Amino acid sequence: MSGILARYQALVEAGELRADAEQAAAAERLNVLQQTLTSQGNAGFLGKLFGSKTPEPRGLYVWGGVGRGKSMLMDLFHTTLAIEGKRRAHFHAFMQEVHARLREARKSESGDPIPPVAADIAANLECLAFDEMVVNNSADAMIMSRLFRALIVDEGVTIVATSNRPPSDLYKDGLNREHFLPFIALIEDRLDVLPLNGPTDYRLDRLGDLQNWHTPLGDAATAQVREAFFRLTDYDPDTGDVPSMELAIGEKRSLHVPRALKGVAVFSFKRLCSEARGAPDYLAIAQEFHTVIVVGIPQMGPDMRNEAARFVTLIDALYEYRVKLFATADAEPDDLYIAGDGSFEFERTASRLMEMRSAEYMALGHGASDSST
């Protein structure tokens, strides 16, 4: 099995990837880590068996914008890592597992449950690789510093992670963030931090000529947004359940996201606009996800003025944060809400929806714009 660097260079030579200095630097650094892990693999296992320790290799934290190749490099790294003690996990799924383990440990243990849980996770494990590290709730933030210190320092597990954010921006403005700061310090102390913000957005390339807005409602429209989800996440919904998550809204509420993976969220119009929601809900969504898929948008009449008003607020938030929107709808934007309170103002929303379908908008990076119009 050839290593990650050889595989990466072959993809560049074959024209499947474009030359990218930051991507190449990350591949070279991952290759060094691979070689170190491979050479120390047996020593690491023996050390765990007999209580001796070998110096653990430094892990790696690769961060950058959407579609810059982070997941691709993680795939290559994990696939070509020639050791048995390796594991790759999506970060949300891993944290759900951790919470379940902690609940079980509290039932049988009277003391601190984190050390035994960390030891159980680390059993026969040398390298733990995460895709899309992100922290969006206080429950995760409260345990991550101590859990990962136990994994890295006490158990000697090497961590490799990707994220859309630099370490300093993790759980930014979160509740009781001061308790999370030791985790950021741990990352910066024990992992090498590499940016990956090259010029090519491969996910945008993969979307090709796939359209954003699909009407009328029906199987054909649904198939199109399913295809968009697959191209953006490499996850086929037909192969199993797509991960869900609870998105924190302020200090005391959360919003259930039925499908959430790699910065892509899927919602029904009913969940977002027929229930009592406001700007904080929509801003949290826009800040958290680079792409949102909304299904089942109806053509609204005067009796749906509240739903139309919420939809306007949702689109304003998505637009402000340059979120990519894919939708199934009963009509084109100009015909969604043509009669009722606020229908005149809705024309601005329809205009924004048309702009959000343009190539220029789709090429924008995720994040708050300097100004909104």
The pLDDT tens digits of the residues spanning 56-95 come to 789 999 988 766 778 888 888 999 999 999 999 878 778 8
Structural tokens at position 246: 């609870």
Quickly state the pLDDT bin for 197 (edges 50, 70, 90): confident
| pTM for the structure as a whole | 0.62
Domains along the chain?
A: 4-195 (3.40.50.300), 202-362 (3.40.50)
3-state secondary structure of 194: strand
Q: Which of 357, 34, 59, 17 is nearest to 212 (CA)?
A: 357
Residue with the larger pLDDT of the pair 373 and 234: 234
| Mean predicted lDDT score pLDDT of the chain | 85
Average pLDDT over residues 241-253: 80
- Tens digit of pLDDT for each residue in 94-143? 888 898 899 888 888 778 899 999 999 999 899 999 887 878 777 788 88
Beta strands 86-90 and 213-214: pairing type? Answer: unpaired
pLDDT of residue 45: 52
Residue with tokens 């020593």: 43
pLDDT of residue 346: 92
